[in-house]
């Protein structure tokens, strides 16, 4: 028997949702506004979508953003999961210190992280230049920076997912004849999986909209969408950027709906 | 489970296999500079957004057989931070006048080779040899913006005076720029002082005035150029303090939005072109600067950005409608008699703290 929610409570919930989603709806609506400045409604148009697709810099930034987000998510999910498992499984002498180090990238302000990574890269470059080698900041430096902050998030979500289980889990598996690898594959990993996926999603989202760290570590000629959009605030964001945001929202919604449809448990007929 | 693992593995393989390997950036040990640098084929420019006509860039690329990479920043501070961190190999940057000396002191700039800049003669004399860079050793003027008083003539037409905002009358709604030097500077100009004053009593007078101003019923908060522009287009405020160029671009859509320079004078800031000390292609950077200093190119720049050009030779080539706007072409006399103040660098210590304190108080009201 379901309890009916109190009308005041559901009204409040609706308000909260409106507060969250109205700005996005306004943004989508204004991507069809026939005005360059978007102060007032000047009629319906789809021209901004045309303008958007004609822009090479946006296409390039979009490609960079997705490349970085996908690859950094894969790398950080694997590494972060291993860290999370290790912290859960072993009693290490410096566990507290290690956990502290993991939390650090989460609490350190982005600016500090961005600038310190930039200086670190400079330092490494100077060392390499003496040896006759060099590199430019760009794809690899941004990738490394993103993985750096993503690992923490993944490791912590995996660890907290496993927090309730003790080592007896694995011991039981071993008693039943599983090898070390099998007990990991069949027992530990499936249990940790929701944490792994949540961590991966979190990592992906963080990478997708990171501005500060990317701005500092990207060198020249490697812009991602957040960098491109954010640096436009000085003279005003053009409506084709609204169009782009609308498309990103659309893609996200489609992805979520598709994921739900695929993951829905099938009823056996 | 198995399927997901397979998918992830396939994805990884795909990515690692198809991922375009970037141009190897390392040279043989002991070899000369690597191919990605200083090949004279790529010019890297660090600039404000929407601040150069893309067609102009294409012309330069074609004429010189090079590629121009534009990266954007949103504030002088963000640009400085990135350059000081030493991560980016830019050839050129476009700082505002008041950070040029900061960049010089930080060892970020190289002196310009004037022999490669024959078009420098096109710049109006009033804009050369300014306090921020005596003798233009490091910088040449690119575009400038005076700060003006904007309005929508369908809603309200003001007099050309800061009294519209700073006077006792409280019948008009207004927005101030979200920038400490601009707001305090305008108050100082209204009081008849320099916008760069370091005199404590003058700053106190400005503080007292601004306290009264932000307490007015008509005060609608602080905003940046785009926000203020939209409020004027939508006719939701009477007056806005704004960079002339940021307002003028909106006249494309609505001719009723206008901007004027108050007769007490106002602040201007000059954006400049500088060559970075570690520029991989200084020769190409100089060629680009001279290209920008060309009369017709300078005009095309303004016709695109709606910012004012310091290029006297470019005047004839400006769009007619830009020629007719007084706010974009302040009388030369204004520069000479101190009515236009370049926003300058503040000496560290007490003056800077005073400005900070005034601003903090206004913002946290």
**Confidence band of B32 (pLDDT split at 50, 70, 90):** very low
10-29 in A: which are within 8 Å (CB) of B?
none
Please indicate if any CB of chain A lies within 8 Å of the CB of B24: no
Higher local confidence (pLDDT), B292 or A219: B292
Minimum-distance CB partner of B15 among A42, A71, A235: A71
- What is the model's pLDDT at position A99? 86
- What is the model's pLDDT at position B20? 38
Taking contacts as CB-CB distances below 8 angstroms, the residues of chain B near A67 are 19
Q: Is the pLDDT of residue B222 over 90?
A: yes
Assign B69 to helix, strand or coil: strand
**A81's tokens:** 């999961």
Find the residue in A nearest to B29 (Cα).
A132
Mean pLDDT, residues B307-335 taken together: 88
Minimum-distance CB partner of B233 among A39, A140, A237: A39
- Asked if B226's CB is within 8 angstroms of A136's CB, the reply is no
**Confidence band of B201 (pLDDT split at 50, 70, 90):** very high
For chain A, percent of residues with pLDDT exceeding 90: 45
CA distance B214 to chain A (A): 24
**Confidence band of B7 (pLDDT split at 50, 70, 90):** very low
- Asked if A216's CB is within 8 angstroms of B82's CB, the reply is yes
**Confidence band of B34 (pLDDT split at 50, 70, 90):** very low
Mean pLDDT, residues A23-51 taken together: 88
- What is the model's pLDDT at position A265? 63
- What is the model's pLDDT at position B87? 67
Burial of B156 from C-beta contacts in 10 A (0-12 / 13-18 / 19+): middle
Please indicate if any CB of chain A lies within 8 Å of the CB of B12: yes
135-154 in A: which are within 8 Å (CB) of B?
135-141
pTM score, whole prediction: 0.84
H helices of A90-188, in order, are 95-107, 110-130, 139-162, 168-175, 180-183
Higher local confidence (pLDDT), A50 or B336: A50
Do residues A142 and A214 lie in contact, with contact meaning Cβ atoms separated by under 8 Å? yes
Please indicate if any CB of chain B lies within 8 Å of the CB of A71: yes
Do residues B184 and B266 lie in contact, with contact meaning Cβ atoms separated by under 8 Å? no
CA distance A215 to chain B (A): 8
Q: Is the pLDDT of residue A260 over 90?
A: no
Cα distance between residue A147 and residue A70, in whole Å: 11
pLDDT tens digits for B89-146? Answer: 899 999 999 999 999 999 999 999 999 999 999 999 889 998 899 999 999 999 998 9
Do residues B272 and B99 lie in contact, with contact meaning Cβ atoms separated by under 8 Å? no
- What is the model's pLDDT at position B1? 40
CA distance A245 to chain B (A): 18
| Residue labelled with tokens 């007719």 | B324
B217 contacts: CB under 8 Å, gap ≥ 6: B170
Taking contacts as CB-CB distances below 8 angstroms, the residues of chain A near B15 are 70-71, 74
Please indicate if any CB of chain A lies within 8 Å of the CB of B35: no
Side-chain half-sphere of A194: how many Cα atoms within 13 Å?
Answer: 5
CA distance B97 to chain A (A): 17
Please indicate if any CB of chain A lies within 8 Å of the CB of B28: yes
- Asked if A232's CB is within 8 angstroms of B233's CB, the reply is no
**Confidence band of B21 (pLDDT split at 50, 70, 90):** very low
Assign B43 to helix, strand or coil: strand
Minimum-distance CB partner of A70 among B15, B71, B230: B15
What are the C-alpha distances in Å from A21 to residues A16, A143, A208, A240, B54? Answer: 9, 31, 19, 20, 35
- What is the model's pLDDT at position B132? 92
- What is the model's pLDDT at position B38? 66
Mean pLDDT of all residues belonging to chain B: 87
- Asked if B88's CB is within 8 angstroms of A219's CB, the reply is yes
Mean pLDDT, residues B255-263 taken together: 94
- Asked if A231's CB is within 8 angstroms of B49's CB, the reply is yes
Cα distance between residue B303 and residue B158, in whole Å: 27
| Phi, psi of A155, rounded to the nearest 5 degrees | -60, -45
Mean pLDDT of all residues belonging to chain A: 88
Q: Is the pLDDT of residue B35 over 60?
A: no
Q: Is the pLDDT of residue A166 over 50?
A: yes
Render the burial of A8-19: b for 16+ CB within 10 Å, e for the rest.
eeeeeeeeeeee
Mean pLDDT, residues A229-242 taken together: 84
- Asked if B86's CB is within 8 angstroms of A122's CB, the reply is yes
Start-to-end CA span in chain B (Å)? 57
- Asked if B51's CB is within 8 angstroms of A235's CB, the reply is yes
pLDDT tens digits for A60-106? Answer: 999 999 999 999 999 999 999 999 998 888 877 788 888 888 899 99
- Alpha-carbon radius of gyration of chain B: 23
Cα distance between residue B142 and residue B310, in whole Å: 7
Cα distance between residue B297 and residue B303, in whole Å: 10
pLDDT tens digits for A129-138? Answer: 888 888 888 8
Axis crossing angle, helix A139-162 with helix A189-208, rounded to the nearest 10: 140
Cα distance between residue B272 and residue B267, in whole Å: 16
Cα distance between residue A93 and residue A90, in whole Å: 9
Start-to-end CA span in chain A (Å)? 26
Q: What is the dihedral of CA A218, A222, A227, A229, to 10 degrees?
A: 170
- Alpha-carbon radius of gyration of chain A: 23
Element at A28 (helix H, strand E): helix A7-30
**Confidence band of B27 (pLDDT split at 50, 70, 90):** very low
Mean pLDDT, residues B31-46 taken together: 67
Please indicate if any CB of chain B lies within 8 Å of the CB of A182: no
Minimum-distance CB partner of A37 among B34, B48, B230: B230
Beta bridge partners of B92: B45, B275
Least confident of A41-45, A148-152, A190-194, B26-30: B26-30
Cα distance between residue A246 and residue A224, in whole Å: 17
pLDDT tens digits for B153-195? Answer: 999 999 999 999 999 999 999 999 999 999 999 999 999 999 9
pLDDT tens digits for A196-205? Answer: 999 999 999 8
- What is the model's pLDDT at position A1? 57
- What is the model's pLDDT at position A142? 96
Please indicate if any CB of chain B lies within 8 Å of the CB of A127: no
Assign A237 to helix, strand or coil: coil
Please indicate if any CB of chain B lies within 8 Å of the CB of A74: yes
Cα distance between residue B261 and residue A100, in whole Å: 56
- What is the model's pLDDT at position B12? 42
Mean pLDDT, residues A218-240 taken together: 87
H helices of chain B, in order, are 2-18, 54-64, 76-84, 97-105, 163-166, 180-190, 200-214, 225-233, 244-248, 282-293, 295-305, 320-323, 332-336, 350-363
Report how many helices (DSSP H) and strands (DSSP E) chain A contains, helices first. Answer: 12, 0
Mean pLDDT, residues A159-174 taken together: 86
| Residue labelled with tokens 């290490």 | A92
Taking contacts as CB-CB distances below 8 angstroms, the residues of chain B near A135 are 25-26
Do residues A33 and A41 lie in contact, with contact meaning Cβ atoms separated by under 8 Å? yes
- What is the model's pLDDT at position A266? 60
């Amino acid at each position: 028997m379901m309890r009916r929610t109190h009308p005041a409570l559901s009204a409040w919930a609706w308000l909260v949702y409106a507060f969250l989603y109205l700005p996005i709806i306004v943004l989508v609506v204004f991507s069809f506004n026939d005005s360059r400045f978007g102060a007032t409604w000047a009629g319906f148009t789809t021209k901004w979508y045309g303008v958007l697709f004609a822009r090479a810099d946006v296409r390039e930034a979009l490609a960079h953003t997705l490349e970085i987000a996908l690859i950094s998510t894969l790398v950080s999910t694997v590494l972060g999961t291993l860290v999370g498992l290790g912290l859960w499984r072993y009693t290490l002498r410096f566990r507290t210190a290690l956990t502290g180090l993991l939390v650090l990238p989460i609490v350190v302000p982005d600016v500090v992280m961005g600038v310190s990574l930039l200086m670190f890269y400079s330092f490494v470059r100077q060392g390499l230049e003496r040896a006759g080698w060099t590199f430019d900041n760009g794809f690899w430096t941004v990738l490394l920076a993103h993985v750096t902050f993503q690992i923490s998030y993944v490791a912590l979500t995996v660890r907290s997912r496993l927090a309730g289980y003790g080592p007896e889990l694995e011991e039981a598996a071993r008693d039943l004849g599983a090898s070390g690898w099998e007990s990991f594959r069949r027992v530990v990993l499936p249990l940790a999986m929701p944490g792994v996926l949540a961590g991966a999603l979190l990592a992906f989202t963080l990478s997708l909209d990171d501005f500060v760290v990317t701005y500092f570590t990207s060198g020249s000629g490697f812009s991602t969408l957040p960098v491109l959009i954010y640096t436009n605030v000085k003279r005003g964001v053009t409506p084709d950027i609204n169009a782009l945001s609308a498309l990103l929202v659309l893609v996200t919604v489609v992805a979520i709906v598709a994921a739900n449809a695929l993951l829905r448990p099938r009823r056996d007929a | 489970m198995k399927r997901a693992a397979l998918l992830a593995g396939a994805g990884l393989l795909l990515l690692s296999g198809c991922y375009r390997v970037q141009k190897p950036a390392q040279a043989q040990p002991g070899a000369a500079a690597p191919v990605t640098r200083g090949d004279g084929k790529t010019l890297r420019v660090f600039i404000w957004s929407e601040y150069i006509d893309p067609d102009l860039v294409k012309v330069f690329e074609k004429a010189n057989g090079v590629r121009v990479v534009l990266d954007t920043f949103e504030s002088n501070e963000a640009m400085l931070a990135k350059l000081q961190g030493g991560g980016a190999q830019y050839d050129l940057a476009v700082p505002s006048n008041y950070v040029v000396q900061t960049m010089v002191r930080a060892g970020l700039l190289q002196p310009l080779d004037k022999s490669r800049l024959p078009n420098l003669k096109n710049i109006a004399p009033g804009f050369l040899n300014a306090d921020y860079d005596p003798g233009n050793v490091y910088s040449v003027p690119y575009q400038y913006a005076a700060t003006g008083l904007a309005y929508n003539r369908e809603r309200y037409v003001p007099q050309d005076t800061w009294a519209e905002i700073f006077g006792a009358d409280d019948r008009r709604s207004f927005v101030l720029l979200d920038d400490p030097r601009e707001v305090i500077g305008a108050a100082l100009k209204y009081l008849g002082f320099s916008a760069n004053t370091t005199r404590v009593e003058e700053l106190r007078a400005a503080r007292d005035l601004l306290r009264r101003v932000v307490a007015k019923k008509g005060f609608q908060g602080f905003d940046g150029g785009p926000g203020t522009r939209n409020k004027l287009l939508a006719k939701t405020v009477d007056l806005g303090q704004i960079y002339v160029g940021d307002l003028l671009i909106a006249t494309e859509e609505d001719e009723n939005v206008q901007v004027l320079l108050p007769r007490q004078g106002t602040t201007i800031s000059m954006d400049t072109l500088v060559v970075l000390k570690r520029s991989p292609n200084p020769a190409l950077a100089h060629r680009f600067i001279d290209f920008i200093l060309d009369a017709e190119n300078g005009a095309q720049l303004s016709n695109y950005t709606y910012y004012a050009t310091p290029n006297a030779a470019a005047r004839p080539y400006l769009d007619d409608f830009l020629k007719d706007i007084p706010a974009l072409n302040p009388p030369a006399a204004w520069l000479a008699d101190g009515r236009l103040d370049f926003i300058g660098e503040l000496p560290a210590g007490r003056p800077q703290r005073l400005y900070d304190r005034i601003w903090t108080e206004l913002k946290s009201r």
